[in-house]
Structure 1
Amino acid sequence: MAVPKIEPIVLELDRLESMAESGYYNPYTIFDWPDTIEPDMPWMSENLTTLAGTPMWDELTREQQIALTRYEAINFFSLNIHGIRELLSEVVMRIHDRTYADVSEFLHHFIGEENEHMWFFAQFCLRYGGRLYPAQPTLQADSVEHLSPVARELIVFARILIFEEIVDYYNAYMATDESLPHIAREINRVHHQDESRHVAFGRMIFTSLLDQLVKNDPDEVPLVAEYLENYLQYSIATLYNPAAYRDAGIPDALALRRRAMEHPARLEAHDQVLKRTRKFLSRAGVGKEVVK
């Protein structure tokens, strides 16, 4: 029996393409980069830090709390940079493939915007933090190598979508947080503005590929659902970087990471971050309940 090929992806993207063109900005001139950031201002919203809501946060000095917001902002932006690099490599390989011919025009916008995002995230990290955090080990895809081409393709775009939805949750909140420096708010605001289009596109392409999978290999849907639930958990875990704890002057970083990730307040926060994505996956038929 012949393996079903991936059918061409046909989507109505005129509105998204028009928004990308009308909303274009020059990333190299739009930001007013200050020489320094006020030393007593947090760089990440305090209730978005990985210790928020736990006794571990209250045990920190105020200096350590501010330091943690700085290093977790650098970690968050570093995660953005590494995530963008990964998704760009996937999209560039497909942009002129027959399967994506109908959406190639939007993919050109997507690539250009993501490259610009990578640039301004790196600018913030290097200007004010003096570094990027290294990429963390990725979730291995060995468990899906035996799946059909459609399932593997679906997982590629699902990973991109999950990454963007989680990032956008943080961007949307910090874009309006007046406690943050203006430059931090602006970077989050601009990224959120673009990501709203990317998320809309990601959901459309995800749905199209999932429809193909349901039609051709429905038995693989629970396997995809299981992988995506693991990827959601992996993505949340990357926010807990022990290097950020160490740089903030907090001892026993690895033990602290374990305690924080298991704390009920943090588990509730994870559910809040993932709520929108899980709702979408559930409605699509690849949600958490499918895994059970």
Structure 2
Amino acid sequence: MVSDVIDRNERFQGILGRLTTMSIEDYYNPYRLFEWPERLPEEMWWMSPELTTTHGTELADTLTQEQLYALSRYESINFYSLNVHGIRELLIEVVNRIHTAGFETPSQFFHHFIGEENEHMWFFAEFCLRYGGKIYRQPTGAEAVAPSSKVESLLVFARIMIFEELVDHYNSTMAADERLNETIRAINRIHHQDESRHIAFGRELVQLLYEEVKRTATAEELAEISTYLRRYMTHSFESLYHPQVYRDAGLERPHQVRRSLLESPARAKAEERTFRKTTRFLKKTGIIR
């Protein structure tokens, strides 16, 4: 039973206690925290250029500075849109497990997690609607088929962890980037502050769930988990490459642009850099091969 594994683990319970205390002490009211200027300057970076999907590619060399700024503007709206969609999905999964059999111990922290993620979803959506006039829909794509249902909770929390670590890589970079407007830096800074707790929790829980799964899983089932999570990381990263972004930025043949960028060596390097810490953790625990 998952609950037995969690309840017996003193380390996990100690971490839960500390993270819950931090959530209480660090609590803020996002509806009063942020100042929303009427508009943001367009002739500047809205996303750190090193994080944009064209960085390091041949295409970037053909674009004017004005086009690069426009691309960063729409890519930032897409990034926050992905946060809105991703948070909505993870909230559904966590709400479905709070105060249920097997998750009694972390349920107290789940309350803080749910509250914080709901507020994150609000300020990311607020940014998109104020400064982009829309929330981008997620592009369609072939998602990896999940292995058997007996590992469902492991995969759910592994996906949440992967999503949060992807987002946090971008948040921490943009929060420290003085080339960006202070409003942009602020929402990334506050999200990074909260996500550091969520990631710490997620890693501990994922490791415990994997140890439980490993007790009865076959070698083939463990290999399927590894393959599934690797595909999920790639699928998540490729969501940053949105054809509508390229169309809105004024680039011709946006679907062709997306294909060429996905095939670029720069994309593989960027994905590896983004998931460097995540991959190291998943390999160390044996979850991916």
Write the mapping of 1:1-292 to structure 2, written as runs, cut at 5 A. 6-8=2-4, 9-10=6-7, 11-12=12-13, 13-137=16-140, 140=143, 142-144=145-147, 147-149=148-150, 151-219=151-219, 220-287=221-288, 290=289
| d(CA) in 1 for partners of 2:235, 2:192 | 22
Rounded Cα–Cα distance in structure 2 between residues aligned with 1:141 and 1:60: 34
CA shift digits 1:237-279 (9 cap, x unpaired): 1000010000000011111111111211221111101111110
- The 1-side partners of 2:146 and 2:159 are apart by 15
Given the superposition, is the C-alpha separation of residues 142 and 39 from structure 1 closer, same or farther in structure 2, using an over 3 Å criterion? closer
Rounded to whole Å, the distance in 1 between the matches of 2:143 and 2:110 is: 26
SS at match of 1:36: coil
- State the 1:208 CA deviation: 0.8
In 2, the alpha carbon distance for the partners of 1:7 and 1:139 equals 34
Give the unaligned 5+ runs of structure 2: none
Name the CA distance, whole Å, in 1 between partners of 2:130 and 2:146.
40
Percent identity of paired positions between Structure 1 and Structure 2: 49
* Residues 72-116 of structure 1, C-alpha deviations (whole Å, 9 max, x = no match): 000000000000000000000100102111111100000000000
The alignment partner of 1:160 has SS state of helix
Greater Cα shift, 11-20 or 116-125: 11-20
Q: 2: distance between equivalents of 1:138 and 1:176?
A: 32
Task: State the Cα distance separating 1:139 from its structure 2 match.
Answer: 5.5
Q: Which amino acid aligns with 1:257?
A: R
**Shift in Å, 1:193:** 0.3
Whether the 8 Å contact between 2:143 and 2:232 is mirrored in structure 1 is no
Cα distance, 1:142–1:124 mapped onto 2, change above 3 Å: same
Q: Whole-Å Cα distance in 2 between the matches of residues 137 and 72 of structure 1?
A: 17
TM-score (structure 1 length as normaliser): 0.93
Q: Name the amino acid aligned to 2:264.
A: H
Instruction: After superposing the two structures, state which structure 1 stretch, 5-14 or 28-37, moved more.
Output: 5-14
CA contact (8 A) 1:139 1:231 kept: no
SS of the residue aligned with 1:135?
A: coil
> Offset of 1:55 from its aligned partner?
1.5
CA distance in 2, matches of 1:275, 1:142: 24
**C-alpha distance in 1, partners of 2:31/2:123?**
8
Amino acid corresponding to residue 222 of structure 2 in structure 1: V
Distance 1:154 1:198 in 2: 16
| CA separation of 1:164 and 1:138: change in aligned 2, threshold 3 A | farther
SS of residue paired to 1:105? helix
Q: Could you say what secondary structure the match of 2:96 adopts?
A: helix
Q: Which amino acid aligns with 1:268?
A: K
Q: Tell me by how many angstroms 1:136 deviates.
A: 3.2
- Three-state SS of the structure 1 residue aligned to 2:45 is coil
Structure 2 letter corresponding to 1:40: E
